[in-house]
A and B are shown apart, each in its own frame.
Chain A
């Protein structure tokens, strides 16, 4: 097994940078630079040198195999975060025999291979690293702690029970087993199917937490959408001007609203137009706005929106500095009503996020849908009677397989490639 190393912290200038080394030669390599090593799990200040070359002063930390992130011997060099320092230390490590730069995701892959994490936990870890908001962090931590495995194990044990009942009527037909097990089997299948359907419902919410909610600001040209976006984002993200139709593309601003990741979209003003470029912008705006989780309609007094608001959308009257009104009204320019609007948006999104489950990926959705399909077919066969017991059993087997794929018990190779493709070096 090779010994690998990489920068574990983000690239670029920083106070501290951590370089992680993992593998059988990790301690030897660290020792080669640091002279000698502190006890495992005790930080020690060392001068890093390679030959005559002085590299940096660093805090060195060692973990013994079996008690480290990857499961192998690990050494961490906490060095100064200058780009040149990092480059020099990485280069020095590269010159040591038996060491090579880690491939993207390789530390995590080793943690998985050494049984330190299961597949869903790896995904959780990836999410945790990518987490920008509090809700994302909490969700990722739940997955990392094995919540998917627990949920799936519960389902699987029920399906195993259902399968066992059916198999008993097949393999022990000549013995004294109950002839009709269908009530309990249907109960078990129905229960799991209901749970999976509920999880599928929650998956969308969890997916939103993971990927962020999309909120579109829609309204007529020059209604002040861009001004509102900028006010919400607290910075000049969209170009604002007084000329109607300035915003021809969709402009996105990511923000953190009460722990939820939200992408605000400023769209081209909705109006009939002769201008070809603007027409494209309007069409795009309509499409995008329709797909968003929430739309904020920015309207003038008594104006009727061009597209139909969906359930839960917000209707806001703009330019409150010029025309003060009742109801939800704001001014992007003076900031009047902004707090109330933000509170409204947050309340609506939080309500949707509150139903989030532990599964949040397209891969999870696929597996759950396959499991539901197999369970429905099993259900049908059970209802058709004992003559088709082997087909009911086959449905249950397929459902169990689909669920197992969530934890990576089948098609390991394929899954891994897909999961590790989304990883960045050194994590």
Chain B
């Protein structure tokens, strides 16, 4: 019998990232999945990244994870979203060739040392003394391990709805995990239901492309990985079409036949990824909705119509799709469907994504109430790193709201819980101006090196880049202008007598790098990507300095640790509602407690008073 340090159950985006992270940390890792050839499958849209999501992928990459590298290898249309806005809110995104992505992920998995793939269905957990000690497969085989990462995606009691038809399934064509769900309940883990949806897939050979507006990728593609410079394969364009009054009428006439509106679904769906039924009901005054027609691969004629996910019956799907411009003769290859699945209230997890009630068991991905490949992978990274540490008896590591989107997400999930599938947005990050996609490596690669999850290739590239940034910054700080000189160059600065460095001048709205290179020829000696990076750092330098106070305040609150057995029920001043919410969220610090839903300043003060009292008693 083989012994592993870490077993990861599930080969989706959370599972692969978790397995790779654990293996990079040196843990003997097994990835248990139903089908090895399904590792890296994209179940929904053929794209990686976006706003907030692209940040997560860059952060995963900064920790030497695999999602960004695989996405680059499969990317067929790179676009930097918000290119015309500031760098803090720009998000890299790419269309990905499904097959290439799967193959890239499987290739990276095969190359990874310490990582073994085991085909089989995880049926139950092995436990001993209140700890998880491994996984039992459906065929009875036992796989002992020191820590287990569970990434079930939509498979946990998955139920697929098309109109009033429903069938159990983890995704179209795969069976759900029922015995694992039962086993989780046996362990006393409470679950809820969420739902998500997907659109019908179209046969690209039956689309009238020649009639459509086409959206190409960027002229200068921005890749995900800090190690990559240019796309690996041929780039393509997407088509754009729109729904119309007729489409809306067909949907309105058949609303009662939709699984969603027919009352067949109990799970809650995401508001920001609504089905076409939702859009038409909730925004009744809109007469048209945009649809992106995204090819699923270079040698695949399947097309993903982004924007019309649905749970209507197949015949209605055909009718409404064919009412759309340029899709009049289209053939549906696979109908759209809604899927309901079990999730675990993420407030029952620690910040390292370990179940508080089941030490040794980590959860990542949709099982924690999130949606999206990127959110799943980022959690996989956190769970995998921590599972590997737990396996060798090390303290857990945490990401913080002040250093990463990963930290923001983990904190949101574990302190606030979810009411609908959680998706990342840049507006969730209060320190958005410093947590940028462009500086993810500066923020996290050093941290990853300390942890031991960053390989040599990246280390060398990172250290060289950091040196160049430091010397470039020193140069920019050393080159200065007096206000009078600045004015002579046409810059509008205060005539306050203070010299300003090239770095400081870059934060002015009307001063750009080429202006300064004309004045200070020395700057042209810097590598273009280094000066471009420094210009981004400079743009926000003033704001970031101002935010330092907020960061400090947050860190101060984070330093007040709340013991795991802190008794909220015994606190006379708290309302019953707050007692319940706090007991459920179990914030690990005062800072987290502040972010638990409806916690008032008064309640915080009370907790703080109690913590101070406990500290006094300890020192006394």
Contact = CB atoms under 8 A, between A and B. Distances in A.
Interface of A: 1, 24, 65, 71-72, 110, 112-115, 117-119, 163, 167, 170-176, 384, 386-391, 393-394, 397-398, 401, 407-413, 416
B75 interface: no
Contacts of A119: 601
B432 A114 contact: no
B573 interface: yes
B246 interface: no
B86 A113 contact: no
A388 B86 contact: yes
26 contacts: A71-B572, A110-B573, A113-B573, A113-B609, A115-B574, A115-B602, A115-B603, A118-B600, A119-B601, A170-B51, A170-B82, A170-B89, A171-B427, A172-B51, A172-B272, A173-B51, A175-B290, A387-B85, A388-B86, A389-B85, A390-B85, A391-B86, A391-B433, A394-B543, A412-B604, A412-B608
Interface of B: 50-52, 81-82, 84-86, 88-89, 272, 289-290, 425-427, 430, 432-433, 509, 543, 546, 550, 553, 572-575, 600-606, 608-609
Nearest to A112: B602
Contacts of A24: 572
Contact of A411 (B543, B553, B572): B553
Contact of A390 (B89, B430, B509, B609): B89
Contacts of B553: 410-411
A176 B602 contact: no
Given A71-B573, A118-B602, A412-B604, A387 B51 contact: no
Most buried by A among B88, B89, B605: B605
A178 to B, nearest CB: 12
B556 to A, nearest CB: 8
A425 to B, nearest CB: 18
A388 B509 contact: yes
B430 A397 contact: yes
B74 to A, nearest CB: 20
- 3 smallest beta-carbon distances between A and B, as pairs: A114-B573, A167-B427, A113-B606
B572 A72 contact: yes
Given A24-B572, A71-B572, A394-B433, A386 B85 contact: yes
Contacts of A413: 608
Given A24-B572, A173-B85, A176-B289, A407 B427 contact: no
Contacts of B52: 171
A170 B426 contact: yes
Nearest to B288: A176
Contact of B509 (A384, A398, A410): A384
Nearest to B578: A115
Contacts of B432: 390, 393-394
B60 to A, nearest CB: 20
B543 A391 contact: yes
Contacts of A167: 425, 427
B433 A115 contact: no
Given A176-B290, A412-B601, A412-B608, A170 B85 contact: yes
Contact of A171 (B86, B426, B575, B604): B426
A168 to B, nearest CB: 9
Contacts of B426: 170-171, 390
A176 B217 CA distance: 19
A408 B543 contact: no
A114 B86 contact: no
Nearest to B607: A113
A381 B181 CA distance: 51
Contacts of A174: 50-51, 81
B52 to A, nearest CB: 7
B71 to A, nearest CB: 17
